Amino acid sequence: MRKVVLVTGASSGIGLALCKRLLAEDDELHLCLACRNMCKAEAVRADLLASHPTAEVTTVQVDVSNLQSVFRASKELKQIFERLRLLWLVSNAQDNPLKKLKKSHTFVFSLRKVLHMFSTAEGLLTQEDKITGDGLQEVFETNVFGHFILFRELESLLCHSDHPSRLIWTSSRNARKSNFSLEDFQHCKGHEPYSSSKYATDLLSVALNRNFSQQGLYSSVVCPGTVLTNLTYGILPPFTWTLLMPFIWLLRFFAHAFTLTPYNGTEALVWLFHQKPESLNPLTKYMSATTGFGNNYVIPQKMDLDEDTAEKFYQSLLELEKHIRATVQKSDDQS
């Protein structure tokens, strides 16, 4: 039986690069591309099959910022598959970045701070957030809750004690404890929703390990580093990136977080593909890194969190899930 791997956000960026690298590692996989845009998904599928004809590639439409879409996709997936071995959650809701330059001049005099700013985006940008049709904060729903509901819906396909399955979350170096609050985990009142959502991802991964490892499901967190994708290019005007590129390439000799390409950014994700999940430390984030000479490697880093906070956050998500399901049921009954 083929190993089934489901990748969200598979039509571009990190998700697409991951799919290509996974098939290069094992072209006997059954790869399922979970994408919002089905035209792009089908084009990617055709390209992958052209280069790996022995692979099996399917597509499913899902928009993780829309819970009805998540429910529909989950139902379809449960009709197709009996078991999932890996669920890769590649998400980056950061569609409306805003430049925040009021503190940038303070970085000019410190190379250490310049490296930190460009490798994490801290102090360089903030972001607009908005309410989705589900009544949730968009960044939180896209990066955290939509994927959490997807996992909950597919739990029966993932939890099999006779053979371990994997849940792998895409986090960030900008996942900062100071930007997260249990009392405001959707980050309604803050100005760093992206950072907050990625810290929430770290917490959730730890809690899921704690609650599901005995059922054969293991959760891990990865960070692709600073990758130049359409998302990144949207932060600054194109000509600014042209001017910055020589400087950014030079910075790679000092800070290996500058992976720059989606291929390099997937190094930690592909490395995890070859590891035994039960051997991994659930409190560790695995980060892709690239040297100034272009060599890729993985950096394990202990996450700045505690398991009690992770469990409280998990319980908060379960309560939110209960509320959402009750609302959906009420709406269905009325219609």
| Degrees, nearest 5: CA angle 253-259-263 | 140
The answer to whether residue 194 is catalytic is yes
Tokens, residue 333: 């009954």
Q: Are 290 and 226 spatial neighbours (Cβ–Cβ below 8 Å)?
A: no
Both structure tokens of 136: 């949730």
The angle formed by the CA atoms of residues 161, 222 and 165, to the nearest 5 degrees, is 15
Give the total residue count for the chain: 335
By CB neighbour count within 10 A (0-12 exposed, 13-18 middle, 19+ buried), where does 47 fall?
Answer: middle
Report H helices in 213-306: 230-233, 238-251, 262-265, 267-273
Task: Report CA 178 to chain centroid distance, whole Å.
Answer: 20
Candidate list 194, 199, 263, 286, residue with the active-site label: 194
CA gap 134, 138 in Å, rounded: 9
Closest by Cα among 21, 7, 8 to 268: 21
Neighbours of 272 (CB within 10 A): 19
CA distances for 332 relative to 60, 63, 141, 327, 329, angstroms? 23, 20, 21, 9, 5
Catalytic residue numbers read 194
